[in-house]
Chains A and B, each alone.
Chain A
Amino acid sequence: MAARDQHGVDAPWDQGFRVVGKENRKVDGLAKATGEAIYTDDIQLPGMLHAKMLRSPHAHARVLSVNTSKAEALSGVMAILVGAELPIRYGVIPWTPDEHALAVDKVRFIGDEVAAVAAVDEDTALEALNLIEVEYEVLPAILEPEQALTTPEPAIHEDRKRQDNISKHVELAFGDVDQQAQDADIVVEEDYCFHSTTHTAIEPHCAVAQANSDGRLTLWSSTQITHYVHRALARVLELDPARIRVIQPCLGGGFGGKSDPFSLEFVVAKLALKTGRPVKMLWTREEVFYAHRGRHAMQMHYRTSAKKDGTITGVDAKILIDGGSYSSFGLVTTYYSGQLLTGPYTFPSYRFDSTRVFTNKPPCGPKRGHGSVQPRFAFEVQLDEIAHRLRIDPIEIRRKNFVGEHTHTVNGQRITSNGFLQCLDAVEEATDWKNCYGKMPFGQGLGVAGSMYISGTNYPVYPNKMPQAGVQLKLDRSGLVTVFTGGNDIGQGSNSMVAYLVAEELGLLPQHIRVVAADTDLCPVDLGAYSSRVTFMVGNAAIDGARKLRKQLVSAVAEHWQVDAKDVRFIEGTVVDLSDASRSMSHVEAFHLAEEMFDTLGSTGAYNTPTLGGDYRGGTIGASPAYSFTAHAAEVEVHTETGRIEVKKIWVAHDCGRALNPIIVRGQMEGSTYMGAAEVVLENHFLNRFGLHAGPSLLDYRIPTSMDVPEIEAHIVESIDPEGPFGAKEAGEGPLHSAIPAIANAVFDAVGIRLRHLPFSPAKVLAALHAQKELV
């Protein structure tokens, strides 16, 4: 049932919240603070073996032979696995299964997996890796996307219909963008570059598998997508999925870096089946850098047309996307690079032409703000340039082109609630924009940018008409409500969100709710923690399930008291009779009455998106039941002697629909903002000319420390979405996007240089300052 069928704008929940909107504790906060919480690597099973992976030293090579005989002879080695034993391909997108757990024919990047060893301990497994002899035929490596575009051979993937190195090409046009450019008062056309960055969740990937004697296989994995891993395991291992159980323990951060099926999951499962013993594999930090799936580097050409008054009339984009060696989510990335730019501004014509290519580098995938952070950077910098040339205030030009609420975008996406103007107001006021922008001393500046993002999409990764999110609720005679959800809590707090919503709907408190999540044996399917879908979809499913139970509970109490059901109210665990203030009971008693009347108490809840999206191929990709909106303002100081950009402060205003817990929403906004800011000035997932990572460690890959992070001021904007759970939309990815162009635009305000190629290293800043002097 679609959410819109459940709630109208006058829904009774739109007032008098007891749990929602309050600063409640998280359901797992103390467990994490005290070290009780169990993450995948904390699992130790009796007789458990430890596995390690042998990886390719070549960026591109044919694997001619793998000789494991010496390694097998090593004492303590229990099993060795090579690619031929897992010949079935997988990939998170079912149309592009191009990965093998271990190389079958070729290796496609330095670090590609070739063989695995299970041994009594890690030291023995590592020693055995050195004894495996692999014969390679080294092939020319393609490391630059331009080269991949023009060089069909050697094809990195040889067995596709396309005999070239193009992973995906999408071209969509809406309105006549060329005519609009001809008729425009101003046209700005520039090239922009976004480099690759990576997630660096502090927990490295880990998986543990156990094969029981009765043929059941259990996998514990640090994954964001339990359900897709479940499906992929069954396919690759050729096992009945009903005999496979996938569990996500506590997850130490994801950000999109754990939302593909990964080779270690198949390898530990197969090794456990081979040996009859539990097997664990924990990747090193270096291995995590090579596993990557991080932000795609993009080379973007944008041409924006506008009228003198700042009205945008057309946007034309051509984008080259460096996909790395495998498809991953690449089909979606390619669409997202164009489809998600059509708000928060309206324009009558739009065209994008995006091409994702394969290169012999670690595969790219979805990093927080999947596919749309890069185009957002380019466009918001270009918009700033138009505002500057037209002498329009950068906040004003954004207001002027506002797409509106309850409307459609040029590419057919339905917009519901939209608090973007309030976001702009918030940063304008907080920064004292009118008195500061353009008026700060040389070297200091302010910049602004806006963005939008999806709250999930109506495109399930594999086509099916079943719910995208499901929950089950069980009521216990003790008064406890257990909610079973397939949703993956990756640290964003989705289990807490479920507890809050069920408590609110049933008139209980969060401590009355226990959440069991991300266990495929116990929980109904949810598709996973990606595309910012969990709050919206699992949240709506939880309300749906709880509402059914509330009806039963209320009617049982009404019958007992012989009153009208509308007079029975559950408030924080106490049931009161609105018609007789002297009468009340505990919710536990109410549970007992309801169980007497209805037998064992439980319910299911589900969510599916309404039909959305433009009526054209790809029109549903990026079609979301609700979009979030963000505005960022940044203050920078540019040190002209060293070229260093110091981000002093960032203001972020985000329309999350309704803040189900303002502390958690603020945490998402601050975490997103700091991650975005770091992509501008610190982070670079750089592969050298051999395809070797320049610094695969948390020292060399510079994520911000507590000393680096700028001051961040978060302003929550609540537009109350008509279809969101109690009005909520996403908050986990949107608030990253515009942090990046806001900084770029602040640099322009500070020193008058327009930087279009990320990252903004001191060398680039100095070169631009130097060029500026030459011009003068």
Chain B
Amino acid sequence: MRVFHLQVNGDTVEVAAPEHWTLLEVLRYKLGLTGSKQGCDKGDCGACTVLLDGTPTLACLCLAASAEGKAITTIEGLLPAHRAQGGKGADPLQDAFDRSGALQCGFCQPGMILSAKALLNQNPNPSLQEIRQALAGNLCRCTGYTQIFEAIQAAAKEMQN
């Protein structure tokens, strides 16, 4: 066991967990932040994607210890951050995913949305090809991706206005 000092969604937390645990395990099973999903546990599917200092990172391949000192954003962090900035409802990306049919089973979506978030932070007006590239590490088995692309394009448009 070891105590990890983590900054998660703006909170500073201390949490004890086995030393070899991944960030995903600590988030899900110690902090109760179950929005990040485990689909493969070996970095293939992207369902565990979180942002570390704004960069999409596979939490299942990242030791919890290596996330210390970095700002961790999980899917649970988006709505409160949006509200803190005076926004209403959900984050525009989350809202666009909901409107556009991008959420079927929803299991890949927390990772998908965070990859999209990082993209839009870097590139507010991405082309379809840029969206495809940004999501290449996030597998979705339900949608065929089309409505996900549409959701991101819709959110980008809305956020620019």
Quick check: is B146 within 8 A (CB to CB) of the other chain? yes
Q: Which of A73-81, A245-253, A398-406 participates in binding chain B?
A: A245-253
A residues 9-55 with Cβ under 8 Å of B?
23, 25-26, 28-39, 41-42, 44
Quick check: is B52 within 8 A (CB to CB) of the other chain? no
**A698–B141 CA distance with the chains assembled, in angstroms:** 11
Output the nearest chain A residue to B76 by Cβ-Cβ distance. A35
Chain A positions within 8 Å of B97 at CB level: 29, 33
A residues 646-696 with Cβ under 8 Å of B?
663-664, 666-667, 670-675
Chain A positions within 8 Å of B57 at CB level: none
Chain B positions within 8 Å of A573 at CB level: none
Contact, CB under 8 Å: B146 / A670: yes
Output the nearest chain B residue to A700 by Cβ-Cβ distance. B44
Q: Which of A30, A36, A252, A704 contacts B35 (CB 8 A)?
A: A36
The prevalent SS among residues of A at the interface is loop
Q: Which of B42, B74, B144 contacts A709 (CB 8 A)?
A: B144
**A33–B107 CA distance with the chains assembled, in angstroms:** 9
Contact, CB under 8 Å: A491 / B142: yes
Contact, CB under 8 Å: B18 / A123: yes
Quick check: is A202 within 8 A (CB to CB) of the other chain? yes
Contact, CB under 8 Å: A35 / B75: yes
Contact, CB under 8 Å: A285 / B101: no
Chain A positions within 8 Å of B32 at CB level: 44
Contact, CB under 8 Å: B40 / A28: no
Chain B positions within 8 Å of A200 at CB level: 141
Quick check: is B68 within 8 A (CB to CB) of the other chain? no
Output the nearest chain B residue to A672 by Cβ-Cβ distance. B144
B residues 69-117 with Cβ under 8 Å of A?
74-76, 78-79, 90, 94-95, 97-101, 103-110, 113
Query: Chain B 130-158 against A: per-residue CB contact (8 Å), 1 yes, 0 no?
Result: 01110111111111111111000000000
Provided the pairs A202-B139, A250-B106 are in contact, do residues A285 and B37 lie with their beta carbons within 8 angstroms? Answer: no
Contact, CB under 8 Å: B105 / A712: no
Quick check: is A490 within 8 A (CB to CB) of the other chain? yes
Q: Which of B18, B39, B104 contacts A491 (CB 8 A)?
A: B104
Contact, CB under 8 Å: A675 / B144: yes
Q: Which of A282, A667, A672, A706 contacts B136 (CB 8 A)?
A: A706
Chain A positions within 8 Å of B113 at CB level: 33
- Interface bracket on A: 35 or more
Contact, CB under 8 Å: A33 / B144: no
Distance between B113 CB and nearest chain A CB, rounded to angstroms: 6
Contact, CB under 8 Å: A285 / B39: yes
Contact, CB under 8 Å: B38 / A41: yes
Contact, CB under 8 Å: B141 / A253: yes
Q: Which of B35, B108, B138 contacts A34 (CB 8 A)?
A: B35
Distance between B150 CB and nearest chain A CB, rounded to angstroms: 10
**A472–B103 CA distance with the chains assembled, in angstroms:** 27
Quick check: is A707 within 8 A (CB to CB) of the other chain? yes
Quick check: is B22 within 8 A (CB to CB) of the other chain? no
Contact, CB under 8 Å: A203 / B75: no
Distance between A756 CB and nearest chain B CB, rounded to angstroms: 26
**A119–B33 CA distance with the chains assembled, in angstroms:** 23
Distance between A29 CB and nearest chain B CB, rounded to angstroms: 4
Distance between A45 CB and nearest chain B CB, rounded to angstroms: 12
Q: Which of A30, A253, A670 contacts B107 (CB 8 A)?
A: A253
**A38–B34 CA distance with the chains assembled, in angstroms:** 8
Quick check: is B120 within 8 A (CB to CB) of the other chain? no
Residue with the greatest number of chain B CB neighbours at <10 A, chosen from A29, A675, A704, A709: A29
Residue with the greatest number of chain B CB neighbours at <10 A, chosen from A28, A675, A706: A706
Quick check: is A705 within 8 A (CB to CB) of the other chain? yes
Chain B positions within 8 Å of A492 at CB level: 104
**A257–B90 CA distance with the chains assembled, in angstroms:** 32
Distance between A252 CB and nearest chain B CB, rounded to angstroms: 3
Quick check: is B64 within 8 A (CB to CB) of the other chain? no
- Interface bracket on B: 35 or more
Output the nearest chain A residue to B131 by Cβ-Cβ distance. A706
Contact, CB under 8 Å: A697 / B141: no
Chain A positions within 8 Å of B140 at CB level: 202, 706
Contact, CB under 8 Å: B41 / A202: no
Residue with the greatest number of chain B CB neighbours at <10 A, chosen from A33, A44, A672: A33
Contact, CB under 8 Å: B139 / A33: no
Provided the pairs A26-B103, A29-B97 are in contact, do residues A203 and B39 lie with their beta carbons within 8 angstroms? Answer: yes
Q: Which of B44, B76, B105, B147 contacts A201 (CB 8 A)?
A: B105
Chain A positions within 8 Å of B101 at CB level: 26, 663-664, 666-667
**A37–B147 CA distance with the chains assembled, in angstroms:** 20
**A673–B113 CA distance with the chains assembled, in angstroms:** 23
Residue with the greatest number of chain B CB neighbours at <10 A, chosen from A250, A252, A493: A252
Contact, CB under 8 Å: B105 / A203: yes
Contact, CB under 8 Å: A697 / B44: yes
Quick check: is B51 within 8 A (CB to CB) of the other chain? no
Chain A positions within 8 Å of B40 at CB level: 204, 285, 697-698
Quick check: is A703 within 8 A (CB to CB) of the other chain? yes
Chain B positions within 8 Å of A250 at CB level: 105-106
Output the nearest chain A residue to B25 by Cβ-Cβ distance. A122
Chain A positions within 8 Å of B79 at CB level: 34
B residues 1-57 with Cβ under 8 Å of A?
18, 28-29, 32-42, 44-45, 47
Contact, CB under 8 Å: A25 / B145: no
Quick check: is A775 within 8 A (CB to CB) of the other chain? no
Contact, CB under 8 Å: B94 / A34: yes
A residues 473-500 with Cβ under 8 Å of B?
490-493
Query: Chain A 224-260 against B: per-residue CB contact (8 Å), 1 yes, 0 no?
Result: 0000000000000000000000000011111100000
Query: Chain A 300-328 against B: per-residue CB contact (8 Å), 1 yes, 0 no?
Result: 00000000000000000000000000000
Contact, CB under 8 Å: A33 / B106: yes
Chain B positions within 8 Å of A673 at CB level: 144
Contact, CB under 8 Å: A30 / B90: yes
**A40–B98 CA distance with the chains assembled, in angstroms:** 22
Distance between B35 CB and nearest chain A CB, rounded to angstroms: 2
Distance between B128 CB and nearest chain A CB, rounded to angstroms: 9
Distance between A701 CB and nearest chain B CB, rounded to angstroms: 9
A residues 696-720 with Cβ under 8 Å of B?
697-699, 703-707, 709, 712
Provided the pairs A491-B142, A707-B133, A712-B146 are in contact, do residues A32 and B90 lie with their beta carbons within 8 angstroms? Answer: no
Distance between B105 CB and nearest chain A CB, rounded to angstroms: 3
Output the nearest chain A residue to B135 by Cβ-Cβ distance. A706
Contact, CB under 8 Å: B139 / A663: no
Contact, CB under 8 Å: A667 / B104: yes
Query: Chain A 193-224 against B: per-residue CB contact (8 Å), 1 yes, 0 no?
Result: 00000011111100000000000000000000
**A202–B95 CA distance with the chains assembled, in angstroms:** 22
Contact, CB under 8 Å: A34 / B78: yes
Output the nearest chain B residue to A206 by Cβ-Cβ distance. B38
Contact, CB under 8 Å: A202 / B45: yes
Q: Which of A34, A675, A703, A707 contacts B75 (CB 8 A)?
A: A34
Chain B positions within 8 Å of A490 at CB level: 105
Contact, CB under 8 Å: A203 / B103: no
Quick check: is A179 within 8 A (CB to CB) of the other chain? no
**A434–B143 CA distance with the chains assembled, in angstroms:** 30
**A450–B13 CA distance with the chains assembled, in angstroms:** 57
Residue with the greatest number of chain B CB neighbours at <10 A, chosen from A28, A250, A251, A709: A709
Q: Which of B41, B135, B147 contacts A667 (CB 8 A)?
A: B147
Contact, CB under 8 Å: B18 / A670: no
**A44–B31 CA distance with the chains assembled, in angstroms:** 11
Quick check: is A407 within 8 A (CB to CB) of the other chain? no
Quick check: is A65 within 8 A (CB to CB) of the other chain? no
In the assembled complex, 6 residue pairs joining A and B whose CB atoms fall closer than 8 Å, in A order, are: A29-B106, A33-B95, A36-B35, A203-B37, A491-B104, A709-B145
Interface residues of B (CB under 8 A from A): 18, 28-29, 32-42, 44-45, 47, 74-76, 78-79, 90, 94-95, 97-101, 103-110, 113, 131-133, 135-149
Given contacts A29-B97, A705-B137, 17 further A-B contacts (CB under 8 A): A25-B99, A30-B95, A31-B106, A33-B97, A44-B32, A202-B39, A202-B47, A203-B107, A204-B39, A204-B40, A251-B105, A491-B104, A667-B104, A674-B144, A703-B139, A706-B132, A707-B136
* 5 interchain residue pairs of minimum CB distance: A35-B35, A491-B105, A32-B106, A252-B107, A674-B144
